[in-house]
Structure 1
């Protein structure tokens, strides 16, 4: 089975050093904006519910609709960048993301907000895949470890800034806009990124004549919708027969997708997914790690927010400040893992991260059960620090670990798949929240005297799902390379 090379135009050595790092700053800003957008929305969900009357199902679509649209469009967005130019798609994506953010902030109700979030996800899917590709064509292999370390630190900063900024903007109720400034804050960031990106990013595209795989895109999109839609709506509707038939049909469609992609590759076409990458054991296992890790974190962050604000009745600012120790631990461990630990201990660092994060989840369950509805921020901090440190050990080195045995000419396609599967995992996790959490709390009235206790019990139930996902990720990590080396540089 042959694969069309994903070689890129020679840009790694062409720009001067200062230009190269300025381009990195621009694409990092875009990735930061995307990350903040996810975390900032989670913290404002209860405020959105109160202001718009959104149901639990609408809440899932406000968060999950973005993740799903983002995941569905990532591979196509990456392919469009290969064909039409990565800089061009990056700038188009950041412009669309900025416009969609404005529409989110101006939404008149939950339906418009969900639609605007889906549009935001589509724009993000054009923007974000270009980030890794631009980094790959701009930095040589020896510098990429440092760049991914910076990326990990940026993830930690985004994790801190998102909940805290969301809490402050919601709590301050600027001009009586309630939660809306959490989206409007993207406007100045997007405009600055658009201006600087047009100036400092160097254009690159595939030298091969690639085409968009329309049939593959339709099959992949249909398969995911057939699985994720019933997961999101099933609990609310009482799990009618069609929800199970839909999920079975989704699996069948995925089978058709794989068969079509294989046939397209044999005919030397331009497949949406380079299936031969899955022959590389470390890559296939790494994709599995991304999927289950994304699902586990997707479940945790949504139920955690609802547990603190809707269940325990905390103010938005208190919930946002409670997230700070977790985020600081993520940032500290992310920088340490790439710079100090991974070069010495390899994949053991990632496995240690999964075990440490699982220990933090179990500790959180014990603390929540012991203190019940009267739990305070201070009593949560030990578990959050452990969880955050474990997560930080994983998020920075995981990309290099998955790509380290992928041939240089396939690294662009592989990078796109990594980002896609990460977001798919997040979308699956948000879909599973119906089973892991909303099934217990969905019928609790606001004035129920047992409300806090019921939410606490549901939170503990949801944490079992998180712990299970992390342990599955730990097992899959055994297939990653023992030594994590910088991913191969695409051929120039």
Structure 2
């Protein structure tokens, strides 16, 4: 999910009350922006092979289509919420929406890989301006007793959008409207975005900002540089032949992220505003949640890319059929969310979910590996359903338990940082699993279908290892979310 609570440690001036009709109109406008962002984080996993064939980009191009967007989103989320506090949530939402619409048009009109990747990075940054404002706007237009109802509407809509994303992408590519093929997955944002922008200008309530609020721009730059260095090294290292400086850059990326943590402590000691509340790094549940978010969501995004590559490049399926082949996983995830209610929002439920995902990945690997001839994609449906069920079980209690023990004044910062970790995981998943897949594939060039089988099987083993790492991190989580009781 892209919706998030970003750090909001200051008390902003109260916004004037609005009518119920206008409040629900605001929810609808916000949902349009949120769904646009969610779909654009998913569509290139299906459309990537078609885009690459059309533009003639390298194999790394497919990875950058997903990773460029999500790494920019992760970096931008650290500061997007604070900018809304400073300049007004309505203003930042509309700026993000307008920019997202324009960069969607640039993506649709791109004629070379460099332009498209640049547009995708800008999309991610502008999405990071738009998305964090949703929470504040909804809270400002509804009375406290109605806020839960508003969020109860947004959750199912976002879930259904996640399910529909790959299918919609496949349909638009295959339908080839106006001869635009893959370009339609971006072009469709333009009329939708323009209508939402006009409606937002007229209907979103004006929000007050705090122009005197200080923002840690240097911290945002350090974090962005660290994440970009890591992703660049993982994606481009293989194409460049893994020279020594790639490993040096990777090490520098890790060092920059460690430096970001130190920078936050340094600013806090001086009484200056921070992007992340430093005390969070002393809480075992929160730090474990960061590692779980990075490891597990890397499997979710990387796995989506992996199966799309196998279905389209290995089995020759059309984008629409490849999207439809993922229905079992999407349906399984919805079931998993339901099962989590019966099992309880507990650490045990998360662990069962991780075990199910690992079992599903191994079942998919077995299904692919034991076949003498080409695999029928639909034979993978049971394994994909198990992966989906496990994902639903693991994700449902994740944020609640990972935020366990976080103090009230730390909640906004903690939830925003966890969501940034999720986006980092998405970017690393596309980078790591994509790199493994193409490395094995190129090493067995000329072997036909068996090369795709070997590449997919190896990448699935890496995915299992990542899930195992996430499961191991649950040992530092409490069994259930700890609630602070006011006395």
Task: Report the TM-score, using the length of structure 2 for normalisation.
Answer: 0.90
The alpha-carbon distance between structure 1 residues 246 and 189, as it changes in their structure 2 partners (threshold 3 A), is same
Shift of 1:111: 1.3
Shift of 1:86: 1.8
Q: 1 CA distance for matches of 2:317 and 2:208? A: 49
**Residue of structure 2 in register with 1:422 after alignment:** 422
Q: 1 CA distance for matches of 2:335 and 2:32? A: 20
Quick check: 1:294 aligned with 2:291? no
Partner deviation per Cα, 1:300-323 (whole Å, 9 max, x = no partner): 111111111011111222111101
**Residue of structure 1 in register with 2:348 after alignment:** 348
Q: 1 CA distance for matches of 2:475 and 2:162? A: 28
Q: How does 1:217-228 map to 2 (within 5 A)?
A: 217-228=220-231
Structure with bigger RCO (C-alpha 8 Å, 6+ apart)? 1
**Residue of structure 2 in register with 1:212 after alignment:** 215
The SS at the match of 1:180 is: helix
Quick check: 1:114 aligned with 2:117? yes
Pick the aligned partner of 1:469 from 462, 466, 469.
466
Q: 1 CA distance for matches of 2:431 and 2:371? A: 29
Structure 1: gaps of 5 or more residues: none
Shift of 1:470: 1.7
Are the aligned partners of 1:56 and 1:438 in contact in 2 as well (CA < 8 Å)?
A: yes
Residue correspondences, number: 480
The SS at the match of 1:371 is: coil
Quick check: 1:64 aligned with 2:67? yes
Q: 1 CA distance for matches of 2:61 and 2:40? A: 17
Segment drifting more, 397-406 vs 478-487: 478-487
Shift of 1:245: 1.0
Q: 1 CA distance for matches of 2:213 and 2:444? A: 53
Pick the aligned partner of 2:57 from 49, 54, 57.
54
**Residue of structure 1 in register with 2:26 after alignment:** 23
Quick check: 1:385 aligned with 2:370? no
Are the aligned partners of 1:152 and 1:396 in contact in 2 as well (CA < 8 Å)?
A: no
**Residue of structure 2 in register with 1:242 after alignment:** 245
**Residue of structure 2 in register with 1:80 after alignment:** 83
Shift of 1:176: 1.3
Q: 1 CA distance for matches of 2:86 and 2:373? A: 55
Shift of 1:420: 1.1
Quick check: 1:37 aligned with 2:45? no
The SS at the match of 2:316 is: coil
**Residue of structure 2 in register with 1:480 after alignment:** 477
Q: 2 CA distance for matches of 1:457 and 1:121? A: 33
Are the aligned partners of 1:403 and 1:487 in contact in 2 as well (CA < 8 Å)?
A: no
The SS at the match of 2:57 is: coil
Shift of 1:480: 3.4
**Residue of structure 1 in register with 2:333 after alignment:** 330
The alpha-carbon distance between structure 1 residues 207 and 471, as it changes in their structure 2 partners (threshold 3 A), is same
**Residue of structure 1 in register with 2:285 after alignment:** 282
**Residue of structure 2 in register with 1:402 after alignment:** 402
Q: 2 CA distance for matches of 1:176 and 1:74? A: 36
**Residue of structure 2 in register with 1:259 after alignment:** 262
Partner deviation per Cα, 1:279-332 (whole Å, 9 max, x = no partner): 232222222221111211222111111111011111222111101222122234
Shift of 1:30: 2.0
Are the aligned partners of 2:90 and 2:204 in contact in 1 as well (CA < 8 Å)?
A: yes
CA RMSD of aligned residues (A): 2.8
**Residue of structure 1 in register with 2:9 after alignment:** 5
The SS at the match of 2:368 is: helix
Q: 2 CA distance for matches of 1:158 and 1:19? A: 24
Are the aligned partners of 1:8 and 1:204 in contact in 2 as well (CA < 8 Å)?
A: no
**Residue of structure 2 in register with 1:159 after alignment:** 162
Q: 2 CA distance for matches of 1:277 and 1:135? A: 26
**Residue of structure 2 in register with 1:456 after alignment:** 453
**Residue of structure 1 in register with 2:358 after alignment:** 358
Q: 2 CA distance for matches of 1:357 and 1:261? A: 35
